[in-house]
Amino acid sequence: MAKFFYEDSPHEFNLIHNHGTWMVASVGMTGFVLNKQDLIDKALYGTEKDGEGGFIAQLNQLFSPDGYYTEGGYYARYALWPFFLFAESIQNNKPELKIYEVRDQILRKAFYSALQMTYTNGEFMPINDALKEKTFLSAELIYALNFVYDRYGEDKSLLSIARLQNKVSFSKGGIKVAQAITELTSVPKFKWESINFVDGPKGDEGGVSILRWGSDNDLESLLFKYSAHGLSHGHFDKLSFLFYDQGREIIQDYGSARFLNVEQKLGGRYLPENKSFAMQTIAHNTLVVDEKSNFNGKREQSEKFHSDYYFLSADNSDLQITSATDSNAYDGVKMHRTLLMVNDPGFIRPVVIDVFQVNSEKSHQYDLPFYYMGHFLSTSYAYNPFITERKVLGKKNGYQHLWLEAEAKTSGTSAFTWLNGERYYSITANTDSNTQILFTQIGANDPNFNLRNDHGIMFRVTAKNHTFVNIIEPHGDFNPTLEYSFNSYPAFEKIEVVRSDEQYTIVEIFGKNDLHWTFMIANNNADKYATHTVALSDGTKLTWHGPTSINKKKEKEHEKRK
């Protein structure tokens, strides 16, 4: 079997991919058992023993300097098993290699980054080809946690995860974890943090930001993806995001189209709809240009490019901001997305402000979908529902799998509200007479019922340059047991983009109780020490420091501006 891997399948064996990791780990561990140095060397350095392939090359190239695995957290989980099993074998048999110290303890960083890419319910945030059912209770994370606990200083906060796992591996690390849980009366909780991960072996290929607010019992989390493609399991989803609250998905990433180990569903393999829908740009919460996927859906093109970090500010938990750009996903189109998590005393939870600027010298159709989880409640505008028949939204690039359920036009700021669990959520958008609002459902052209029938709202504009502003607002309380409901309508009433160009984007937001916020972005200067001054058409001067700022005040001024 080992000979088949390295002699008959050298390409796969040397591949910098989790498939290669499994192969080299099996051959290397076989070499240790049989005491065959040739097998060990091939496993460590590739079939030619030149370092172009093998375990060391995979440690150097599959992880970024801070441990982010290029295929995403879900596949980090899968890959950590062979990485840690082989590393443990190497440490026990060739301690002089100091495998756990390679790349400034890259295996420790890989484990912690994978954990940070879970939600508090244990589920991996489902970017790329991910299954939502997978959690940190899986065997891969049990082994990895035990080895990390043993080899990297016995971090007691990991015991809170180990208690939930309720299992240990039959290893030195597993015994240590079991003993610690038995002996300690209390253990500190693992902390899910606001964090930024860079992508690429040198850390220069974009990344992933996660903003968090609240307690483990009710943690608000937003993941923003501006990374490299992610190898064969990557999706065409530049500048996409997903949003959690109440221990559940609120704005979802579809993940993958697959029923793992279910024989009736193509034997549990990836389904055809994984490529025809789940991987396509329209399946994600990001911009689609002219109904085409990023890079026209060509992986070989997508792997040449990545989105670019613009800035991140997460030191103040009440005002967290992440921002990134992309100029390669669509020819001649520049995209700049900035997401804020803003906590304010006037709201029960932080609101998310999403500012998505798109610029081109040519006119395009811009579609921006949001795949919400929960039940449609109301809109601030009239819409035309398709009751007796529904049509498919498009013919290809994932559009062929979307039913058009309803459509609407509105002349000004619009609001859409839905219910999820015991909380209301609204998207308030800066729509105008040029905006088409589309309500969609996944599941068209799906004769084998392989897709989940989830719902979305989409904002469509035809223009050269446009700035989408959407506010995602958690609000109110719904308690069917005690039979009460309150604050079921959004607080935001009006959004004005007063300036949006190459230099600056200025957005004014108005709402109930004389709410008036002004948000400013410097679009081409992320220097946190830079000073910016902008004069508005009414003579107002705005001055701020750094790439962004938000002014919050209560006044009657919005009445004058209407």
Compute the distance between CA of residue 229 and CA of residue 224 in angstroms, rounded to an integer. 14
* Active-site amino acid positions: 75, 233
Enumerate residues 6+ apart whose C-beta is below 8 A from 496.
430, 507, 508, 509, 510, 561
Domain boundaries, the chain: 2-155, 196-490, 498-562
Q: What is the DSSP pairing of strand 240-245 with strand 436-442?
A: unpaired
User: 170: how many CB neighbours lie within 10 A of its CB?
Assistant: 8
pLDDT at 7: 84
Do 2-155 and 196-490 come out as alike in CATH topology?
A: no
pLDDT digits (tens, 9 = 90+) for 462-501: 999 999 999 999 999 999 999 999 999 999 999 999 999 9
| Two structure tokens written together for 146 | 């035990």
pLDDT at 428: 99
Share above pLDDT 90 across residues of the chain, in percent, rounded to a whole number: 93
pLDDT at 71: 92
Compute the distance between CA of residue 171 and CA of residue 179 in angstroms, rounded to an integer. 12
Tokens 């589309």 belong to 438
Looking at the structure, give the CATH architecture of the domain made up of residues 2-155. Answer: Alpha/alpha barrel (1.50)
Question: Which residues of the chain fall short of a pLDDT of 70?
Answer: 554-562
Compute the distance between CA of residue 277 and CA of residue 490 in angstroms, rounded to an integer. 32
pLDDT digits (tens, 9 = 90+) for 250-292: 999 999 999 999 999 999 999 999 999 999 999 999 999 999 9
Question: What CATH number matches the domain at 196-490, 3.40.50.300, 3.40.50.2300, 2.70.98.70, 2.40.30.10?
Answer: 2.70.98.70
pLDDT at 3: 85
> Does residue 73 contact residue 66 with C-beta atoms inside 8 Å?
no
pLDDT at 553: 82
**Distances, alpha carbon 275 to alpha carbons 69, 234, 279, 398, 420, in Å:** 22, 11, 5, 9, 29
pTM, full prediction: 0.95
pLDDT digits (tens, 9 = 90+) for 148-166: 999 999 999 999 999 999 9
